[in-house]
């Protein structure tokens, strides 16, 4: 027996099984997380049928089925399977105040899927489930209920969406441009006044300054005139938007008028086939990926958050690679190896273990207040007291994360440099290259794949980090992207949205947590996908480099 045991241990079989099991458990956990997120998140895009339940007491409930569970403590000897209850998304938050309702299955008398049940996606108050009673144009009846009403509602919603597109264009693009112009002129005036105060005791330059100020003031006046025109146009469009309203009736005959301008989409889910629902599904995915958020982020899309995350990671990469590579080069190639260098190395490695919120505090104190504040007083004095760089922004957030991830890049680069064969260095030196030429021409190219490995690790870490961002520039809702069509195009001072923070915000800070739950999963899934895509890009690049420097280190 003992010999058998000894043999088994010595053969390593136990060890192999153990290590295999460890790997399997790790894989299962990763796959489990992914499946959980995908099941919960991707189901969000599917339009379920509308069910109308008649309860024993005669009351009715209408909505989309959103789950079923066994009632706790209901398993008794008489009913071994227990009693179950349905979770129905009843919507109509303006009527009921709740989005979901639990219905005991035992209390259901009848269950139907009425074909005329309508689902309205609204810009406010969430979904509405009900039937059309009538459509009004102002005070006059425009269409009755039934098929005619449904048809006219569809075309009205389409018109309303066109109007919304126009309004969006005027608000965001045209008025945005005018505002930018006014703001620029205002700052220029301020700058002129700061440079040469319009003081009677200043004969020189004073006249020119006054001229400049007057010209700028004329520009502002002209822009304000155009602004008034635009607002008038907007008012007209808004009036048209609210011209029609549809009176909906819920399953218990409660009436509720809804302005058509408030409707994003009207659907009769019970009439739509599976293929059409598939198309709607894809459309929903597209909307989430490309649209801006609505209703405190719980509805609409997450495009600004995706954009912010990607742009922040890219800025971070641009900052962290040169910084980390230079540090590693000095540590490995130039510094005299000794106690001091060893200490520095230990310090660098420890830096990777510092909690990220500490970096956030440092970023706030150093980048935002110290550097940003200095930049403001030196270059953006005309905008003070409102800060330009002296407040959180995408640049400071990216630099903070670069600081957070620089140890990863240093360690990976150092390993890459150490793995470059001595032969390469000697060959290069033997050809009359200086040390710098050797490093630049032979060592660094060979270590490039290792540097990219460091970058991949850094990007994965940075994309998922939230805590330091909350202190250095992330916001719940950013009105503008950090990259747009206005000079200087990259607005490094702007605050931005981030998927990680979006998850926290939607999941835990939103007024309607229950309704936002699918959004949390969707955002999580998108965040994972963003990390995967960023990493795949870097890995592809690395593999191409490896092929180019085949046989090179790492």
Partner 1 sequence: MQTSTDPSPDLLRISVARPHDAFPGKAAKDLKATISLTDVNFFYGESQALFNVNIAVPQNHVTAFIGPSGCGKSTLLRCLNRLNDLIEGAHLEGKILLDGMDIYSPQVDVTDLRKRVGMVFQKSNPFPKPIYDNVTYGPRLQGIRNRAALDQIVEESLKSAGLWEEVKDRLYESALVLSGGQQQRLCIARALAVKPEVLLLDEPCSALDPIATSKIEELLFGLKKDLTVVIVTHNMQQAARVSDYTGFFLMGELVEFNDAKTIFTTPQDRRTEDYVTGRFG
Tokens of 149: 């009403």
Identify which of residues 2 and 422 has a Cβ nearer to partner 1 in the complex: 422
Identify which of residues 51 and 443 has a Cβ nearer to partner 1 in the complex: 443
Tokens of 431: 């050809």
Q: How far is the CB of 549 from partner 1 (least distance, A)?
A: 4
Residue pair 64/515 in contact by the 8 Å Cβ criterion: no
Using CB under 8 A, list all residues that contact partner 1.
421, 423-424, 426-434, 437, 441-442, 445-446, 548-552
Which among 425, 399, 403, 404 has a CA at the least distance from the CA of 332?
Answer: 425
Residue 256: Cβ-neighbour burial (10 angstroms; 0-12, 13-18, 19+): middle
Q: How far is the CB of 447 from partner 1 (least distance, A)?
A: 11
Identify which of residues 506 and 552 has a Cβ nearer to partner 1 in the complex: 552
Q: How far is the CB of 424 from partner 1 (least distance, A)?
A: 6
Q: How far is the CB of 436 from partner 1 (least distance, A)?
A: 11
Q: How far is the CB of 542 from partner 1 (least distance, A)?
A: 14
Residue pair 363/471 in contact by the 8 Å Cβ criterion: yes
Angle between helices 499-508 and 513-548 (to 10 degrees): 160
Identify which of residues 2 and 336 has a Cβ nearer to partner 1 in the complex: 336
Identify which of residues 216 and 450 has a Cβ nearer to partner 1 in the complex: 450
Q: How far is the CB of 423 from partner 1 (least distance, A)?
A: 4
Tokens of 433: 């290259």
Q: What is residue 53's three-state secondary structure?
A: strand
Residue pair 304/476 in contact by the 8 Å Cβ criterion: no
What does residue 489 show for φ and ψ, rounded to 5 degrees?
70, -60
Residue 72: Cβ-neighbour burial (10 angstroms; 0-12, 13-18, 19+): exposed
- Measured CA distances, 44 to 88, 223, 278 (Å): 14, 45, 13
Identify which of residues 151 and 548 has a Cβ nearer to partner 1 in the complex: 548
Q: How far is the CB of 12 from partner 1 (least distance, A)?
A: 35
Q: How far is the CB of 339 from partner 1 (least distance, A)?
A: 15
Task: Report which DSSP code applies to 372.
Answer: I
Q: How far apart are CA 294 and CA 285, in angstroms?
A: 15
- Measured CA distances, 550 to 109, 443, 537, 547 (Å): 73, 14, 20, 5
Identify which of residues 8 and 337 has a Cβ nearer to partner 1 in the complex: 337
Identify which of residues 212 and 421 has a Cβ nearer to partner 1 in the complex: 421
Tokens of 128: 């509405």
């Amino acid at each position: 027996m003992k010999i058998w045991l000894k043999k088994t241990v010595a053969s390593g079989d136990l060890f192999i099984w153990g290590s295999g099991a460890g790997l399997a458990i790790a894989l299962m956990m990763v796959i489990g997380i992914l499946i959980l997120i995908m099941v919960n998140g991707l189901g969000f895009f599917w339009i379920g049928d509308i069910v109308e339940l008649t309860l024993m007491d005669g009351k009715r409930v209408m909505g989309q089925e959103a789950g079923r569970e066994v009632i706790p403590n209901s398993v008794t000897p008489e009913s071994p399977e227990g009693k179950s209850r349905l979770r129905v998304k009843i919507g109509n938050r303006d009527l009921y105040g709740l989005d979901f309702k639990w219905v005991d299955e035992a209390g259901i008398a009848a269950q139907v899927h009425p074909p005329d049940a309508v689902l309205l996606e609204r810009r406010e108050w969430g979904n509405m489930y009900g039937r059309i009673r009538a459509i009004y144009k102002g005070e006059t009846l425009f269409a009755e209920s039934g098929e005619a009403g449904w048809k006219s509602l569809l075309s009205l919603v389409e018109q309303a969406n066109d109007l919304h597109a126009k309004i969006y264009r005027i608000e965001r693009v045209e008025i945005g441009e005018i505002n930018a112009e006014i703001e620029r002129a205002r700052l220029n005036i301020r700058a002129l006044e700061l440079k040469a105060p319009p003081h009677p005791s200043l004969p020189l330059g004073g006249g020119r300054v006054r001229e400049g100020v007057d010209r700028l003031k004329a520009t502002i006046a002209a822009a304000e005139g155009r602004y008034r025109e635009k607002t008038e146009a907007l008012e007209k469009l808004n009036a048209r938007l609210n011209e029609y309203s549809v009176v909906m009736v819920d399953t218990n005959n409660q009436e509720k008028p809804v302005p058509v301008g408030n409707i994003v989409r009207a659907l009769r889910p019970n009439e739509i086939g599976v293929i059409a629902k598939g198309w709607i599904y894809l459309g929903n995915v597209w909307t989430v990926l490309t649209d801006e958020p609505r209703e405190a982020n719980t509805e609409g899309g997450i495009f600004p958050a995706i954009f912010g995350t990607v742009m922040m990671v890219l800025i971070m990469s641009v900052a962290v690679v040169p910084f980390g590579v230079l540090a590693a080069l000095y540590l490995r190639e130039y510094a005299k190896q000794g106690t001091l260098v060893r200490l520095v190395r230990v310090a660098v490695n420890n830096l990777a273990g510092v909690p990220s919120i500490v970096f956030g505090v440092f970023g706030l104190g150093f980048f935002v207040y110290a550097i940003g504040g200095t930049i403001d007083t030196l270059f953006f004095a005309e905008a003070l007291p409102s800060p330009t760089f002296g407040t959180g922004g995408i640049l400071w957030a990216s630099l903070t994360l670069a600081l957070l991830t620089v140890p990863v890049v240093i360690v990976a680069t150092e390993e890459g440099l150490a793995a470059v064969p001595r032969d390469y260095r000697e060959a290069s030196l033997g050809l009359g290259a200086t040390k710098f030429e050797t490093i630049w021409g032979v060592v660094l190219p060979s270590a490039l794949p290792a540097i990219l490995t460091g970058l991949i690790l850094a990007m994965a870490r940075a994309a998922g980090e939230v805590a330091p961002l909350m202190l250095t520039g992330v916001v719940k809702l950013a009105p503008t992207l950090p990259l747009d069509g206005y000079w200087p195009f990259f607005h490094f001072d702007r605050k931005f949205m981030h998927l990680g923070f979006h998850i926290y915000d939607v999941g835990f800070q939103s007024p309607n947590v229950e309704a936002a739950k699918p959004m949390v999963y969707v955002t999580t899934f998108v965040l994972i996908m963003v990390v995967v895509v960023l990493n795949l890009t870097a890995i592809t690049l690395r593999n191409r480099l490896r092929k180019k420097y085949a046989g090179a280190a790492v």
